[in-house]
């Protein structure tokens, strides 16, 4: 009796279709069910120039600003002063 229940649950798991549709999917598959989703997963296009900048290469206006001890304490305390 337990074996038949086990076999029945295995069959149900095989035929189950997930209700979650992931955005990326596997490469080579077409995204179906999304509006305008006829592109394949492997043909991603970059909108930028493709250059990667490290922190030390950024102009001054884009560099991280240093934080003082009060901000560090506020972060470490979870925002409670």
Number of domains in the chain: 1
Residue pLDDT, tens place only, 13-48:
887 787 888 777 665 555 555 554 444 444 445 556
Phi, psi of 40 (to 5 degrees): -80, 160
Give the pair of three-digit tokens for residue 61: 């206006």
Identify the domain containing residue 21 by its residue range: 3-77
Its pTM stands at 0.28
Residue pLDDT, tens place only, 56-71:
888 888 888 899 999 9
* CA–CA dist 18, 27 (Å, integer): 18
């Amino acid at each position: 009796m337990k074996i038949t229940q086990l076999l029945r649950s295995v069959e149900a798991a095989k035929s189950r279709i997930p209700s979650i549709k992931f955005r990326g999917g596997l490469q080579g598959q077409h995204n179906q069910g999304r509006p305008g989703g006829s592109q394949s997963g492997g043909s991603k296009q970059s909108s930028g120039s493709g250059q990667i900048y490290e922190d030390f290469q950024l102009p001054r206006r884009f560099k991280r600003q240093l934080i003082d001890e009060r901000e560090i304490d506020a972060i470490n305390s979870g925002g409670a002063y």
